[in-house]
Chains A and B, each alone.
Chain A
């Protein structure tokens, strides 16, 4: 049996990480809730298995999503992940095929050149070593990009790159050392034996011409083995834990396991699946408009991984959901942030090394709210019966133009409706939820539910996307919830609302809570196309910007909010529209102070377009009138 002491660090690292991955996976599985366990079991023996394998290949190795959005960055990730995978795969085949015997231990494939230095001189062997050299060159090209990215992130098309901890840096250094040390070790060995292909062979002969290659090869094989061993041992403590975790995550997600609203094994898996790639940082408006660069998803995940107090990070976010949409791993960043908000301030844990490798599942059960009812003073009125209930919402009361327009539209449609909060209503509860105070929010939800139930309505129309989302998701009401843009669209389709075409250019801003978070993209645009000329902006649908006024962020200052609003408004009005139209009173209010273009809600422009039935004038009658002479 071929053996050399330098393989020991690699072997220790490899067997450690394999055993560790199994232990950790079993622990995660045990910590999943019972329904989730069943889901995972069903997924594992069902269709989800094939889907997951495909996704692992496309996303974990090829990095398709990153490639699509940013080629250079995608290439960097792909060359390291896919290249390394190919190197291991073809290395194993090479060792099996050209080695002394079949079914070798893993180190034989990794250090093949050391044990078979004469390999690759002629015929098929030469072709094969050309291929192996090619893969190594592929990885090294990605590595070069990665190193440049650390110093200047603009090279790979990124504005910001994630700041790292010391341990991450050590792991990063060992990762960076792996491939250059392999290149040099193989080159020196090839230089001595005059084997190797275009990369290792030629570099080897050059180096051997002026250096003592025989003496230098051995230390580099040691370095190669040591850097691999170090990387594997440190992996569980660093962001590179995402490599094994992501596989588990993909299986779990394809088995229909979702974050929901509680912390547990699945959100732990997601936290460890974050590779800190920094794409969320680039997508974040707080970063590129307001210069706040320490609160993005990657940092939240990092804080949670290290058991830090993430309360400030969790609250300083617009909850616009742009990062959720961009995350190449598909981590549900916003739900995890909500869980952290509910958890409130946490004490940083003091952990031992052992605990760091096998941490307990985070117990972020919300602090129990006091049983006293905060909103007991609310008196419930007796609303009148109606088919349609119109709930304007707090923000709409602050922008009366919208509610007046809606009143006119509802009247023009000829429907019987009840303006339920005409003389002041109670908040829908979403702002409290966003602040992490679910129990308090539930009180308001119950109050509003009782009120709406009393009206016996079938349809609930609201003007505020914030209310729309909470009515849709957290109210258990037997009514159809419509945003006013959806309602107007329906009335137009039914023929109840006759509108004329206004000769105006308008740009539409998709509110976050209506678009990304509730999936209503088309209806408002259809309505606008019906009444005006709709411009296409740079930020459409799920790429839409946040106006900055979001109630999700309680920490942001007025100044920063305004910077975000000005940036968004400037981008949206690039085509010089006559009007910037939105579907949210909060967006309207925020934009109004950030741009010179007139900002209007979709209801206002529709109201303007309502056709007033003109009294018919008979032309003949006119001619019969006696002419005045």
Chain B
């Protein structure tokens, strides 16, 4: 390969080939409204957990769709399922179900059940 003198910055590198999109697919199948999210961030703005931590549902949505699950695995357990995000969502995404399905999928993947 030709070297142009540029380096790949690992932390900014989205490698779609090695990313695991099984979880996003699992959610897509069961909660079609996952697709219509526009990543506006209203959910993150209103979030109860987000008030205390760096937890952001918007970020989780983006990461899941990219298939970068490792960063989501820990974060997603912080949600309290209080449901404010559903009311704030301008697109009508069923965010609570997205979270619950993602948790379910992570559990199933560790058991190789997906």
Contact = CB atoms under 8 A, between A and B. Distances in A.
A504 to B, nearest CB: 27
A554 B93 CA distance: 11
A554 B82 CA distance: 11
Contact of A377 (B78, B86, B92, B93): B78
Nearest to B83: A551
A431 B99 CA distance: 13
Contacts of A394: 48, 82-84
A429 to B, nearest CB: 8
Contacts of B51: 424
Contacts of B88: 398
Contact of A557 (B80, B82, B87, B94): B94
Interface in A390-434: 394-395, 397-398, 424-427, 429, 431-432
Contacts of B97: 554-555
Contacts of B89: 558
Interface in A418-463: 424-427, 429, 431-432, 435, 437, 444
Contact of B78 (A374, A429, A549, A586): A374
B92 A398 contact: no
For chain B, give the interface size range. 20 to 34
Contact of B82 (A377, A378, A427): A427
A427 B94 contact: no
Interface in B63-114: 77-78, 80-84, 86-89, 92-94, 96-97, 100
B78 A375 contact: yes
B46 interface: yes
B6 interface: no
Nearest to B46: A398
Contacts, number: 72
For chain A, give the interface size range. 20 to 34
B18 interface: no
A435 B94 contact: no
B28 interface: no
The A interface is mostly helix, strand or loop, or mixed, namely: loop
Nearest to B32: A557
Given A424-B52, A427-B82, A589-B87, A554 B94 contact: yes
Interface in A583-624: 586, 589-590
A134 B37 CA distance: 66
A559 interface: yes
B92 A444 contact: no
Contacts of A375: 78, 80
B101 to A, nearest CB: 9
14 contacts: A375-B80, A429-B80, A432-B80, A435-B96, A437-B81, A551-B82, A557-B33, A557-B92, A557-B94, A558-B33, A558-B86, A558-B92, A586-B83, A586-B87
A426 B55 CA distance: 14
